[in-house]
Structure 1
């Protein structure tokens, strides 16, 4: 059985330049990963990437930074393979990387990074980084459950306006994970002279939005330009109360590991699509939506802040460090939870119990849906016969 292709295979085999063949969804997935690259602050050769002169994408392939570009991230090894492939590819190697920003602020609970890729004289891709390995990055993700905008969303809108002022032509905007959410928010809320030049918005397994944002005129104005892709058992991309329209793509991994874009199956110049989400993804979406609907904004905020206070005890700053000594980490954090005051412990326990209870109640509805789908498919087959 032949191995399925992914975006790395795409970069190695699809060699037309952007002038020769137009932009596609797989190109967006590639650039949405490359924005995870952490550029050094002290290398004069790469300094133009922080401004708007830029450097060639091929110039990022520097062995002295291999150990730090993706350190602590779940895609370190394939990330380096992809960087090598784009550095050699006629399609990608001369693309200019510019406008690099990387700003993390634990006090503001902000983790933000972005790059702009100058593809041709008339087309640029503005990429927003998803959640990295920092604990504060995950906290900002959780804050999306009760707050809009979060600091990175505001930063993304400012960044898009700045990029639009610096480069001419059409703009594409996108990102993976939280980066996809930032792309949608930025395109919707940036000044009209910037957002009006955005032709397509890509959200690759990015979390959704609260209902209040999706009801705004700003979002409705860009809704038709949003292209959201989710793996079949999406966890991250199905979070939050409301969802944009989306395409379901095939992943060769399971459950949460499908969030890894290197697992998404590529055929030619597109992602392989499926008819719908798996039952576990629909279950998660229904359960979380029901839970959000049953909690006030203040209750969501208190629940998330309390859990984070137990996780962030000042002894680690990244999820990598948290996992490195997980036995000690679990013990220390269990003790921290036990030391919360009785009322707070009771509140957290009741909130978690409600989440489990809502999950149980969702199951019958999903079973009915699946039964109706089977019956509908059987009837269609009979008619076809």
Structure 2
């Protein structure tokens, strides 16, 4: 077993003509999209490209390894994916082009994408996802009641860039990027959709019930490949109709969202048969919470939820983890006016973070978040089962 970095050590000497594109290659290209390549990769409308090897060289001329490691987010190590790609035969001559990176704080829009042409002449269109910023996760939740600006941008991007005939196109991404790939494929014209052979959603959120009932979604459904880790949160949001394969991770809890922790065996992921109890319970709680709300109520409740998570001034989930008792204490204090369903959501999110914090920190807070019922506390009802009620799921 290993990660996508190990995969490039094992199979990096094989061209795509020797060993065809696979699901691990998909994740590598999706994670590449997190690297800030402004000024390195040519933009849309320019008939030019740089190779992965050239992009890696230029990037590391401007950034040191120490600087990269000092960053704090789920995706801060993605430049090392770029560097490893630039060192192996399989990826180093891939052509990078049509890079776009749009940030509009007023519209709460974060959109980035690029084309990656492999040596078999196929093109992977990679959409960037969200990192572990609280505002980024809120954007994922916002998809439950609105079309977010990055989704519209993704449709426009495919319309502007999928112009070459005779090419094999794949579209994909990680986290929000996976959602954008599916959304853009569905909402594009039939002419554009016909050019897309495969669509990859790596732990990205789903869609509204109305969206997955669209005939255009039905049309592309056989082309969607979807992967989630055992403890998936983001990848379980909203509605999915495609089959989702469950991937093993070297991490626990919410940290499994990081694609660099996903486990690889040969040319495929290591699979698990079931998601963890935490993931299942949070999924059920979220669906129950959202199902009884209209769009305006969802917006109000989601805003409240994320204002609570940032109560200590934390900007990322990593900040909450590093803040320990102080961060969790601020969350506990700020939820006193929340309704019971919102409290339940927060308690399950914290429960999934428990493995990062340690039981001694989180358990007392969960006990205060979830009151005793019928004289029996949640903890005692669950007995020694640290992960929640036995609902048939295996860890």
Distance 1:27 1:178 in 2: 18
Report the 3-state secondary structure (helix = DSSP H, G, I; strand = E; otherwise coil) of the residue aligned with 1:5.
Answer: coil
| TM-score, structure 2 as length reference | 0.78
Distance 2:164 2:256 in 1: 36
1:55 aligns with 2:50: yes
Q: Which residue of the partner structure matches residue 316 of structure 2?
A: 319
Matches within 5 A, 1:1-385: 4-14=1-11, 15-41=13-39, 46=40, 48=42, 51-61=46-56, 62=58, 63-67=60-64, 71-77=71-77, 79-120=78-119, 122-132=121-131, 136-147=135-146, 149-166=147-164, 168-308=166-306, 319=316, 326=323, 346=337, 348-353=338-343, 355=345, 367=390, 369=392
Report the 3-state secondary structure (helix = DSSP H, G, I; strand = E; otherwise coil) of the residue aligned with 2:250.
Answer: coil
Q: Aligned-pair distance for 1:130?
A: 0.7
Is 1:209–1:243's contact at 8 Å kept on the other side of the alignment? no
Distance 1:309 1:357 in 2: 15
Distance 1:327 1:277 in 2: 26
Distance 1:135 1:29 in 2: 23
Is 2:278–2:348's contact at 8 Å kept on the other side of the alignment? no
- Which blocks of at least 5 consecutive residues in structure 2 are unaligned? 350-369, 374-380, 383-387
Report the 3-state secondary structure (helix = DSSP H, G, I; strand = E; otherwise coil) of the residue aligned with 1:92.
Answer: helix
Distance 1:92-1:188 versus aligned 2 partners, 3 A rule: same
Report the 3-state secondary structure (helix = DSSP H, G, I; strand = E; otherwise coil) of the residue aligned with 1:302.
Answer: helix
Is 1:111–1:140's contact at 8 Å kept on the other side of the alignment? no
Higher mean alpha-carbon deviation, 248-257 vs 50-59, is at: 50-59
Is 1:109–1:139's contact at 8 Å kept on the other side of the alignment? no
- Which blocks of at least 5 consecutive residues in structure 1 are unaligned? 339-344, 374-385
Distance 2:192 2:184 in 1: 10
Q: Aligned-pair distance for 1:296?
A: 2.0
Distance 2:125 2:307 in 1: 34
Q: Aligned-pair distance for 1:144?
A: 1.2
Q: Aligned-pair distance for 1:6?
A: 1.1
Report the 3-state secondary structure (helix = DSSP H, G, I; strand = E; otherwise coil) of the residue aligned with 1:76.
Answer: coil
Is 2:41–2:98's contact at 8 Å kept on the other side of the alignment? no
How many matched pairs? 353
Is 2:208–2:239's contact at 8 Å kept on the other side of the alignment? yes
Distance 2:81 2:239 in 1: 34
Report the 3-state secondary structure (helix = DSSP H, G, I; strand = E; otherwise coil) of the residue aligned with 1:104.
Answer: strand
Q: Aligned-pair distance for 1:139?
A: 3.1
Distance 2:43 2:187 in 1: 26
- Aligned Cα root-mean-square deviation (Å): 3.6
Is 2:75–2:131's contact at 8 Å kept on the other side of the alignment? no
